[in-house]
Amino acid sequence: MENELYLAYIASNAFLNNYYEKTGGEELAILLGAMATDVFATNLPADPAIWSEFEEIWSEKSEQQVFDLKAYSTMYTFLESWWLDTEEADAKEILKRLAFLENGLPAEHIWLAWLGVIKKITAKPIAVPNFNNYSVGITKQRDAND
């Protein structure tokens, strides 16, 4: 389970990096800095709160979904959550472009780009870092304070 979760996180990071290289956007650049896994020698995400939120969203998704769809859905829900209260036009535009259509998938070119990232990520072995004592449970803390 943790292996799939980490693969979904790495795929999301790679996909969003590719997206950023093509489109730019300050809000996305800030998020990618916090999501980065190449900052520390441990390959852990730079911001534990980012990982905790991604992990929580992943755990709420259906176990019946195939990996590709569950990972994309987790990424999209994570972006929605991250930018919930933003007024930034670039963040809203990214959500609009990556949104699910009536058929339950994003636009074809987005889905094909996502599948390309998944294929690349899963083609090589990835060492899953040790997450013991890493997650901060930021969402649970935020809910407790509300």
Q: What is the mean pLDDT of the chain?
A: 85
Q: For 13-65, what is each residue's pLDDT tens digit? A: 999 999 999 988 888 898 999 999 887 777 888 888 888 899 999 999 988 88
Q: Where are the domains of the chain?
A: 2-145
Residues of the chain by 3-state class (helix, strand, coil), percent to 5:
65, 0, 35
Residue 118 has pLDDT above 90, yes or no: yes
136: confidence class by pLDDT, cuts 50, 70, 90 = low
Residue 77 has pLDDT above 90, yes or no: yes
* Gyration radius of the chain over CA positions: 15
Residue 100 has pLDDT above 80, yes or no: yes
